[in-house]
Structure formats: structure tokens, C-alpha cells
Amino acid sequence: MVAGARNSRLAAFVLMRATAVLLAVLVLGHFAVTHVVNDVASTGSNFAIRRWSSVLWLAWDSTMLAAALAHAGCGVWLVVDELAPAPRRRRVLHAAVAVVVTVVFAVGATAIGVTAINQSG
């Protein structure tokens, strides 16, 4: 294995572990606020709009989105590294993973941002 490939695998492995710890805190906090502190029946779109009027919750949900996508992207990256036989195919699949993660993040961040902007304006 080439040193660069070994370093990228190690970076993906470490990032997966770090985002897993971060996600444990963020998701449990999200769950507690949405399902324990508040009545589940009242957690509709108005609940999300009210929550996203706070900078804290915008940052919380944006961080949760980024951490989830980084975690998933690193996981798929490592699976591609393990299972793709040819280096060229591996590069193409790694690029596809990066594009998909970037597009999904852009859509999620746009949804959070547009909702926050519409709520404040």
C-alpha cells in the first residue's frame, strides 16, 4: 500500500471515530429536546421554525448535518477502499462519494438557511 493511501485511510478512520463521538452528543441532545422536553405531538414544522430562530439551534443542527455527512462519507470511502479492485475505479468512486456528500450537505444547509431566513424576515 502506498503511504498516501495509508494516510488517507487513517484520516478517514480517525474522522469517523471523532464524528461518532460528536454525533452521540448532538443526536442525543436533539432527541431529548424533540421527544422528551417537548410534546411529540407539537413537534411539527412550526416547532422547527421556532427552534431555528435561535442561533444555538442553527449551529447545533448544522453541526449535526456536517458530522453525519462526514461520518457517512468516511464510512463509504473506507468501504470503497476495501472493495474496489482497481486504483482507477477507486478514484472514480471516491470522487463520486465526495460529490454526493457535497451535494447532500448543500441541500441540507440550504434548507436550514432558507428556513431560518424566512423565519427572521
Question: CA–CA distance from 92 to each of 1, 9, 79, 112 (Å)?
Answer: 18, 16, 14, 30
Q: What is the pLDDT of residue 121?
A: 59
pTM over 0.75: yes
| Per-residue b or e along 108-119, where b marks 16 or more CB atoms closer than 10 Å to that residue's CB | beeebeebbeee
Total structural domains within the chain: 1
Report residues of the chain scoring pLDDT below 70: 1-5, 119-121
Structural domain that includes position 61: 3-120
pLDDT, position 4: 67
Question: Where residue 70 sits, what CATH number does that domain have?
Answer: 1.20.1300.10
For 93-120, how does the pLDDT look when each residue is reduced to its tens digit (9 = 90+)? 999 999 999 999 999 999 888 877 776 6
